[in-house]
């Protein structure tokens, strides 16, 4: 497809790199000529210097031939107006990043009036993701499929786990519950395992499980968590606002520390149920006075990555809190992953993921991607496909899974059929109407039949 990206920031560049890798023709449009020269060199994309709200600039970027325009500028108004121009000039699909809470409260009206195909709010997406993690404290990551009915959960194996040394084929019976381990992170490796693989200490497992069973799974692996009743949040930005709002609705106590008095006053008005502390979250004495040692969860959401890392490291030292750390610029991934920061959340990555999911769904095939998640820092993907009634599906329907010529490093880890979650075995088959979840280290799968060997 021909895709125009308006905005040459971090999200725009990451989108350009990934979309180019997946074979799309990408043109970037930004007003900063020097930035364009610097960043576009390593990428196989075109660049046009101009304003995304300019009709002539969009024409130069090829809007008449574009299938999609993605606006991710640093101003919501610019992104929205760029999408409006694109709809009128080129009649292509449009996606806008919208961060202002007031705009997002009115997003249904805005989408309808501007003809937006999709609006993405990275701060709200990050807050929703963090809220899910707080509701299941022992999980390091949670990704949902089939409209929330199927979940892929990541957790760490403790040193005293009774499952260490056990084969994956035997674990379901030992745990006495239905689940499927579909991926293992071990050191720097990502493993799509078979049943003979064994569990090792410090493995991070990705497991498909029905959430009502998750506590039983945790207990079987020797993980003993506790419910979270209060949360301390460092930083009073948009993610903090959305998160506090979600937690208060769930009857979870919120204590939010923000250094800016003006922000504190606004947050006090917008979040009457939260305790807003006006002070510096990096002040050790303040943290202790406000009860960091006793908080159930500590979430570092300041605007400075280094500050978030330091705060989480300190919270890990002085408390037993569940840790969640926001990092916007993941440049030293191996170092960050080695630090005890709990779950690392990157709003930019969540935004990119959602947009790429939509782009793949625009593929002309009938069995396209319904849901997409990047796992293990993008080294693997989890995808949801719908099995529809068409000619292509005949290649995979009614064939026992053991007889399908599946690609290596790929696992069909769940079939959702008629409200029932099926943990697939070799004799199971895919049927029309199924939802199929696949985990793989292969990149760029767009169609269900892409799971087959070429």
pLDDT tens digits, 173-186: 788 778 889 999 99
Whether residue 43 sits in one domain with residue 107: yes
Whether residue 310 sits in one domain with residue 240: yes
Residue 225 is assigned to a structural domain of this protein: no
Q: Final residue of a domain: which of 90, 120, 150? A: 120
- pLDDT value, residue 367: 52
Q: Are strands 68-71 and 93-97 parallel, antiparallel or unpaired?
A: parallel
pLDDT (mean) for 118-135: 92
User: Which of 131-140, 241-250, 366-375, 403-412 has the weakest average pLDDT?
Assistant: 366-375
Output the pTM of the full model. Answer: 0.85
How many structural domains are present in the chain?
Answer: 4
Q: Are 448 and 385 in contact (CB under 8 A)?
A: yes
- pLDDT value, residue 26: 94
The whole-angstrom separation of Cα 284 and Cα 289 is 9
Phi-psi region of 115 (alpha: psi -120 to 50; beta: other; left: phi over 0): left
pLDDT (mean) for 43-49: 89
Of the pLDDT bands very low, low, confident and very high (cuts 50, 70, 90), residue 100 is: confident
pLDDT (mean) for 60-81: 95
Residue 163 is assigned to a structural domain of this protein: yes
Whether residue 358 sits in one domain with residue 339: no
Q: Are 285 and 312 in contact (CB under 8 A)?
A: no
Whether residue 356 sits in one domain with residue 339: no
Whether residue 74 sits in one domain with residue 56: yes
Say if residue 401's pLDDT is above 90.
yes
CATH code, 100:
3.40.50.720
The three-class DSSP label of residue 387 is coil
The whole-angstrom separation of Cα 321 and Cα 365 is 46
Residue 103 is assigned to a structural domain of this protein: yes
- pLDDT value, residue 157: 92
- pLDDT value, residue 313: 96
Task: State the burial class of residue 441 (Cβ atoms within 10 Å of its Cβ: 0-12, 13-18, 19+).
Answer: middle
Q: H/E element holding 338?
A: helix 333-338
Q: Are 427 and 402 in contact (CB under 8 A)?
A: yes
- pLDDT value, residue 334: 64
- pLDDT value, residue 69: 97
CA distances for 59 relative to 29, 52, 56, 217, 276, angstroms: 11, 10, 5, 55, 49
Say if residue 189's pLDDT is above 70.
yes
CA distances for 115 relative to 55, 82, 91, 108, 440, angstroms: 17, 12, 10, 10, 35
Of the pLDDT bands very low, low, confident and very high (cuts 50, 70, 90), residue 107 is: confident
Read off the tokens for 142. 């949670």
Whether residue 368 sits in one domain with residue 337: no
Whether residue 131 sits in one domain with residue 105: no
Q: Are 152 and 208 in contact (CB under 8 A)?
A: yes
Q: Which long-range contacts (CB under 8 A, 24 or more apart) does 360-368 make?
A: 360/22, 360/446, 362/1, 362/67, 362/68, 362/93, 363/446, 363/447, 365/392, 365/446, 365/447, 366/390, 366/392, 366/393, 367/392, 367/393, 367/447, 367/448, 367/449, 368/446, 368/447
The whole-angstrom separation of Cα 283 and Cα 300 is 14
The per-residue b/e assignment along 379-416, b for 16 or more CB within 10 angstroms, e otherwise, is ebbbbbbbbeeeeebeebbeeebeebebbeebbbbbbb
Whether residue 174 sits in one domain with residue 152: yes
- pLDDT value, residue 326: 95
Of the pLDDT bands very low, low, confident and very high (cuts 50, 70, 90), residue 406 is: very high
Residue 336 is assigned to a structural domain of this protein: yes
Whether residue 186 sits in one domain with residue 152: yes
Say if residue 333's pLDDT is above 70.
no
- pLDDT value, residue 148: 80
Whether residue 216 sits in one domain with residue 246: no
Q: What percent of the chain has pLDDT over 70?
A: 98
Residue 261 is assigned to a structural domain of this protein: yes
- pLDDT value, residue 332: 64
Say if residue 335's pLDDT is above 80.
no
Whether residue 321 sits in one domain with residue 258: yes
218-228 pLDDT per residue, tens: 999 999 878 89
Residue 75 is assigned to a structural domain of this protein: yes
The whole-angstrom separation of Cα 301 and Cα 27 is 33
Say if residue 70's pLDDT is above 60.
yes
CATH code, 400:
3.30.70.1450
Question: How does the average pLDDT of the chain come out, rounded?
Answer: 90
Q: What are residue 373's DSSP bridge partners? A: 382
Q: Which domain holds residue 17?
A: 2-120
368-381 pLDDT per residue, tens: 678 888 888 788 99
- pLDDT value, residue 79: 95
- pLDDT value, residue 364: 56
- pLDDT value, residue 330: 61
């Amino acid at each position: 497809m021909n895709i125009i990206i308006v905005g040459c920031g971090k999200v725009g560049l990451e989108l350009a790199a990934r979309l180019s890798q997946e074979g799309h023709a990408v043109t970037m449009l930004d007003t900063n000529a020097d930035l364009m020269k610097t960043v576009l060199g390593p990428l196989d994309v075109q660049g046009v210097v101009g304003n995304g709200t300019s009709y002539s600039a969009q024409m130069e970027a090829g809007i008449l031939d574009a299938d999609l325009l993605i606006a991710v500028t640093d101003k919501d108004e610019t992104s929205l107006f760029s999408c409006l121009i694109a709809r009128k000039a080129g009649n292509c699909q449009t996606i806008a990043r919208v961060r202002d809470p007031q705009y997002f409260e009115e997003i249904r009206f805005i989408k309808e009036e501007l003809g937006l195909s999709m609006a993405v709010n990275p701060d709200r997406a990050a807050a929703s993701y963090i809220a899910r993690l707080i509701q299941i404290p022992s999980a390091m990551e949670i990704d949902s499929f089939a409209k929330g009915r199927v979940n892929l959960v990541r957790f760490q194996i403790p040193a005293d786990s009774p499952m260490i040394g056990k084969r994956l084929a035997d674990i379901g019976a030992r745990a006495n519950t239905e689940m499927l381990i579909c991926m293992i992170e071990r050191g720097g490796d990502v493993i799509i395992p078979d049943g003979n693989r064994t569990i090792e200490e410090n493995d991070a497992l990705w497991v498909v499980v029905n959430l009502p069973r998750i506590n039983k799974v945790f207990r079987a692996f020797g993980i003993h968590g506790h419910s979270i009743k209060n949360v301390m949040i460092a930083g009073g930005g948009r993610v903090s606002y959305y998160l506090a709002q979600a937690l208060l609705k769930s009857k979870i106590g919120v204590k939010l520390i923000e250094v800016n008095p003006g922000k504190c006053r606004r947050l006090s008005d917008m979040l009457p149920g939260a305790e807003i502390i006006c002070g510096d979250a990096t002040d050790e004495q303040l943290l202790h006075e406000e009860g960091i040692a006793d908080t159930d969860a500590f979430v570092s959401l300041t605007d400075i990555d280094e500050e978030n890392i330091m705060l989480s490291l300190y919270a890990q030292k002085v408390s037993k809190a569940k840790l969640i750390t926001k990092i916007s610029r993941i440049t030293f991934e191996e170092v960050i992953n080695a630090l005890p920061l709990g779950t690392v959340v990157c709003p930019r990555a969540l935004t990119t993921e959602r947009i790429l999911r939509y782009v793949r769904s625009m593929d002309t095939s009938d069995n396209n991607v319904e849901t997409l998640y990047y796992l293990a820092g993008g080294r693997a993907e989890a995808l949801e496909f719908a099995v529809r009634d068409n000619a292509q599906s005949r290649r995979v329907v009614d064939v026992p899974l053991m007889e399908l010529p599946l690609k290596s490093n790929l696992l069909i880890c769940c079939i959702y059929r008629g409200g029932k979650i099926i943990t697939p075995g070799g004799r199971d088959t895919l049927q029309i109407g199924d939802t199929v979840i696949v985990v793989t280290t292969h990149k760029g799968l767009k169609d269900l039949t892409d799971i087959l060997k070429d």
